[in-house]
Amino acid sequence: MFEKGFMDNGKRKGFLVIAHGSRKEEANRRVFDLVRRLRGYFQSSMFEAAFMELAKPSIEDGIRTLVEKGADELVAFPFFLFKGMHYSKDVPGIIEAAIDTLDRDVSVRMMEPLGMHPQVFDLVQEMLYEEAAGEFEFTRVDPSEIEDRSMDIIESCLDGADLPVEEKPIVKRVVHTTGDFDFARNMVFHRDAVSEGRKAVREKRTVFTDVTMVQAGINKRFGHVVRCVLNEPGVAERARSLGLTRAACGIRSLGRELDGNIVVVGNAPTALITLVDMIRRDNLRPALVVGIPVGFVNAKESKEYLASLDNGVPYITNRGHKGGSTVAAAIVNALIKMEFTDREQCHNKEVVVGDRPGD
């Protein structure tokens, strides 16, 4: 089982959430609430609130608190909308003066202000939703065109998103499946994930899944064998005796049979953790790992553990607690569609051209 800090570079980061400060206590309390939730989400005490003026703690106080907790690197998050004078001049000046008073070297990095994030549109959209929802109108679409129309809408909403061309069909398929554009921002691809995934799909390598819902959702019409690790012989009994989840025990029991094949985890973080342990310890070499478990206990941590692999095993994952069986199946189905359906359509066009009179 992995331990917290598996990606540790030897230095400890501290995070300073900086707001302007207000004479109204309610406004300041919102900042403290934000920091409290960040501590809970990241399971870390290395988050502190600080105010430029009018409220306490000051930026100097926040920096000193983090350094006393052992921070070697400070990440300053300006809880401002845009890059005004506070961002570009006032806050950096206060930080620099505070750092100069310390008795040790501490590096500082300033992040972009809140208003520069592309998801600000989503926040404004959500706040306006109730007011604007009455303006919606139904659109009549031929049933055969619904999916294409959906993809066109997704494409238009992704305008400006910096997605590599080979990854975009997968991201679009996940967004289409979930209705959630967060996946356009939080999916993580190993550099060889798409090419090696398509190769494994083309060679019809076995697809191993952690749960039957993922198994059921994967397209099998091109002859792919899809096996669920829960159904391997003796898994339930061994899981009980070893105190493991069935999914983790199933992954462990397959061992080297996973080499060269696709492993898809859409539900159980324990299965993904076990798989990455085996890749690290036993040099297991799946052709592709799709690790997208959902949940609040070790889900996001297991994905970061997967993304920390540096031995060349390709993976597709995402950040955070979102995921699930439908997302995992959608990723594999996107690879299958890219490799087989598109090729089938090209073949059909070639047949039509070849059947023309006179050819």
Is there a catalytic annotation at residue 176?
yes
Pairwise CA distance, residues 309 & 323, whole Å: 20
Token reading at 40: 């809970």
Question: Which candidate in 117, 176, 190, 224 is catalytic?
Answer: 176
CB contact set of 128 (below 8 Å; sequence gap of 6+): none
Inter-residue contact 301 to 267 (CB < 8 Å) = no
Placement of tokens 């309610």 in the chain: 26
Distance CA 82, CA 114 (A): 7
- Go through the chain and tell me how many residues it has: 359
Query: What is the CA angle 112-117-123, rounded to 5?
Result: 135
DSSP alpha helix (H) spans, 103-161: 120-132, 146-157
Tell me if 312 sits within 8 A of 190, measured CB to CB: no
The whole-angstrom separation of Cα 202 and Cα 91 is 54
251 in the Ramachandran plot: left (φ > 0), alpha (ψ -120 to 50) or beta?
alpha
Contact 335, 329 (CB under 8 A): no
Q: Work out whether strand 262-265 and strand 288-291 pair parallel, antiparallel, or are unpaired.
A: parallel
Please report the sign of the dihedral spanned by the C-alpha atoms of residue 187, residue 191, residue 194, residue 196.
Answer: negative
* Dihedral sign of CA atoms 28, 30, 36, 39 in order: negative
Catalytic residues: 176
